[in-house]
Amino acid sequence: MSIEDDYVPVSGNRILVTGGAGFIGSNIVDALVPDNDVRVLDDLSGGSRSNVPDEATFFEGDIRNDDDLERATDGVDIVFHQAALVDVDESMRRPEPTHDINLNGTVKVLEHARRESARVVFASSAAVYGHPASVPIAEDSSTDPLSPYGLSKLAAEQYVRLYGELYDLSTVSLRYFNVYGPGQLGGDYSAVISTFVEQAMNGAPITVEGDGAQTRDFVHIDDIVRANVLAAGSEASGVFNVGTGESVSILELAEIVRDAADSESEIVHTDARSGDIDRSRADISALESQLGYEPTVPLANGLERVVDSRSETPLPEDR
């Protein structure tokens, strides 16, 4: 993908993207390699080496390993910390690995960034909010995570903040809402879109959990990349929501996907998921006013691009 010059205030830097072989990380790498010396650190547990462009320097390694981090962070100016275990259901089944990678790994990244005086852009999640009292959800809304994944991101945010305050490290955290886009795998951030697209393109029933009235703020990967680049090129600190400021019901989403895929799939309802959040929509006014961010990809257009990409390049079951 490409990003217009107006959205790229970052050039001439040595940059590390942890998790840079994954869905979000690799898109950030693609945007930055034309004008920067970009490195990727990834253990390939959830990403693919083929996602990393030849122009980037690739290190296969673990963010919890000091030797791996020392090699990857040597002389860097900016760290985009994307590496994480992001599967919420898996975090419920096995919380310890999520804690270890998402929290302990983040502390390791911060410590090595501190040695290099590198700016850190941390990938957090709207999962920190839990059930919101109202929508849209602002950054100062109450945080009450419903999963070990959400809790790990909230705790990691606090370490990011504290490193900034204690050690004068330049840091900022971005709370992603429901990210989607071409190349996304089923276990990624907005698995419902991957599932619906797969079902619609195969002519299978599109399965909606519950009545489908629950709402989400789906944000295209291009806009996530823009937010990251804008954050890296600024001196802003604290936390920022990254979404569109708009929401759609899951039932409406199923209908939009069906139309985008020109499918005749039937929409069927299954049992509601226990503990599912009813409403989610980002208040993005802080990101707009402080960083000049604006969402650029309408949902219908973004879903058409996902369908087109899926038609051209079927996703592997495993990679």
Residue 186: its pLDDT value, please?
61
Our answer to whether residue 149 is catalytic in this structure is yes
Residue 199: its pLDDT value, please?
96
- More reliable by pLDDT, 316 or 302: 302
For 198-209, what is the mean pLDDT?
96
Bridge partners of residue 125, in order along the sequence: 176
pLDDT digits (tens, 9 = 90+) for 9-58: 689 999 999 999 999 999 999 999 999 999 999 999 999 999 999 999 99
Bridge partners of residue 23, in order along the sequence: none
Bridge partners of residue 81, in order along the sequence: 18, 122
Residue 276: its pLDDT value, please?
82
Collapsed DSSP state (helix, strand, coil) of residue 88: helix
Nearest to 230, CA basis, from 220, 219, 218, 242: 242
Residue 311: its pLDDT value, please?
84
- Percent of the chain residues topping a pLDDT of 90: 89
Asked if residue 65 has pLDDT above 80, the reply is yes
| Least confident window among 8-22, 146-160, 262-276, 304-318 | 304-318
Bridge partners of residue 107, in order along the sequence: none
Residue 73: its pLDDT value, please?
99
Asked if residue 159 has pLDDT above 50, the reply is yes
For 229-247, what is the mean pLDDT?
98
Asked if residue 279 has pLDDT above 60, the reply is yes
Q: Check 149, 176, 189, 293 and give the catalytic one.
A: 149
Residue 317: its pLDDT value, please?
40
* Confidence label for 183 from pLDDT (cuts 50, 70 and 90): confident
Q: What is the mean pLDDT of the chain?
A: 94
- Hey, what long-range contacts does 137-146 have (CB within 8 A, 24 or more apart)? 137/241, 137/280, 137/281, 137/282, 137/283, 138/241, 138/283, 138/285, 138/286, 139/175, 139/238, 139/239, 139/240, 139/241, 139/283, 139/286, 146/275, 146/277
Q: Where are the alpha helices (DSSP H) in 121-190?
A: 148-167
| Least confident window among 5-19, 47-61, 63-77, 244-258 | 5-19
For 186-191, what is the mean pLDDT?
61
Residue 188: its pLDDT value, please?
53
Look up the pTM and report it: 0.94
Residue 273: its pLDDT value, please?
82
- Hey, what long-range contacts does 95-99 have (CB within 8 A, 24 or more apart)? 95/148, 98/148, 98/149, 98/152, 99/148, 99/152
Nearest to 196, CA basis, from 256, 121, 150, 153: 256
Asked if residue 319 has pLDDT above 60, the reply is no
Residue 2: its pLDDT value, please?
43
